[in-house]
C-alpha cells in the first residue's frame, strides 16, 4: 500500500454504486411525471446493487417526500448499503437513505477491517 488516500478499488466501487442509484432516480422521475399527485405508482429501488429490479409502490406524494433533498434516495428495506449511505427513515415498504459523502476515509477503513 503506497497510497494514503485509501483503497482505490473501494473508491471505484463506491462511485459505481452511486451511479447505479442515480440511474434508478432518473427512471423514477419519469414514472413520477406520468402520474398525478394523488396516485400511487410503482417506483424502482434506487439502491446501489447492480441489477436490482426490486420495485416499491408508494404515492407520488410520498415519493416527493423522499426527494426533498438531492442526497435522499428511495430503497427497498434491506437494500441500504451502510458503506455509502445512512437510513434516515424506515417505512413499512421502503427506506429513505442519505448519501454518506463526508466520511470516505472512515468508510474505506471500515470496509478494510476483517472481523475477528
Q: Which residues bind Zn ion (CB under 5 A)?
A: 45, 47, 52, 54, 79
Looking up cell 417505512 gives 91
Which residue's CB is nearer to Zn ion, number 89 or number 112?
89
Q: How far is the CB of 99 from Zn ion (least distance, A)?
A: 15
What's the Rg (C-alpha) of the chain? 16
Which residue's CB is nearer to Zn ion, number 83 or number 105?
83
Which residue's CB is nearer to Zn ion, number 45 or number 62?
45
Q: How far is the CB of 35 from Zn ion (least distance, A)?
A: 21
Q: How many CB atoms lie within 10 A of CB 42?
A: 10
**Is residue 82 within 8 Å of 106, Cβ to Cβ?**
no
Amino acid at each position: 500500500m503506497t497510497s494514503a488516500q485509501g483503497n482505490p478499488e473501494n473508491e471505484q466501487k463506491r462511485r459505481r454504486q452511486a451511479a447505479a442509484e442515480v440511474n434508478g432516480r432518473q427512471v423514477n422521475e419519469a414514472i413520477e411525471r406520468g402520474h398525478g399527485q394523488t396516485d400511487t405508482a410503482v417506483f424502482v429501488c434506487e439502491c446501489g446493487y447492480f441489477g436490482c429490479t426490486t420495485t416499491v409502490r408508494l404515492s407520488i406524494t410520498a415519493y416527493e417526500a423522499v426527494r426533498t433533498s438531492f442526497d435522499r434516495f428511495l430503497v427497498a428495506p434491506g437494500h441500504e448499503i451502510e458503506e455509502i449511505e445512512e437510513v434516515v427513515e424506515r417505512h413499512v415498504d421502503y427506506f429513505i437513505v442519505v448519501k454518506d459523502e463526508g466520511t470516505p476515509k472512515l468508510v474505506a477503513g471500515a470496509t478494510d477491517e476483517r472481523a475477528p
